[in-house]
Amino acid sequence: MGDSADLTGYGAIPEHIAIIMDGNGRWAQAHGVPRIEGHRAGTENLRRVIKGCVDFGVKYLTVYAFSTENWSRPKDEVQGLLQILGSVIDRELKELNAQEVQLRHIGRLEKLPTLLRKKVTRAVEVTKNNDHLVFTIAWNYGGRDEIVYAVQQIIQEGIQASEVTEDDICQRLFTAGTPDPDLIIRTSGEIRGSNFLIWQSAYSEWYFTPVLWPDFDKEELHKAIVEFGLRNRRYGGRQGCDPVESGYVG
Instruction: Count other C-beta atoms under 10 Å from residue 199's C-beta.
Output: 16
Of 6, 45, 55, 70, the catalytic one is 70
Of 22, 55, 145, 180, the catalytic one is 22
Q: Which amino acid is it at 94?
A: K
Strands (E), the chain: 16-20, 60-67, 101-106, 133-141, 183-186, 205-208
Q: How far is the CA of 243 from the CAs of 51, 148, 155, 236, 250, in angstroms?
A: 31, 28, 31, 8, 8
- Which one, of 55, 53, 65, lies nearest residue 15 by Cα? 53
Task: Dump the DSSP string for 223-246.
Answer: HHHHHHHHS---TTS-TT--TTTT
Query: What is the Cα–Cα distance from 170 to 173, expressed in whole angstroms?
Result: 5
Active site residue 145: no
Task: Dump the DSSP string for 68-90.
Answer: TTGGGS-HHHHHHHHHHHHHHHH
Active site residue 45: no
The residues annotated as belonging to the active site are 22, 70
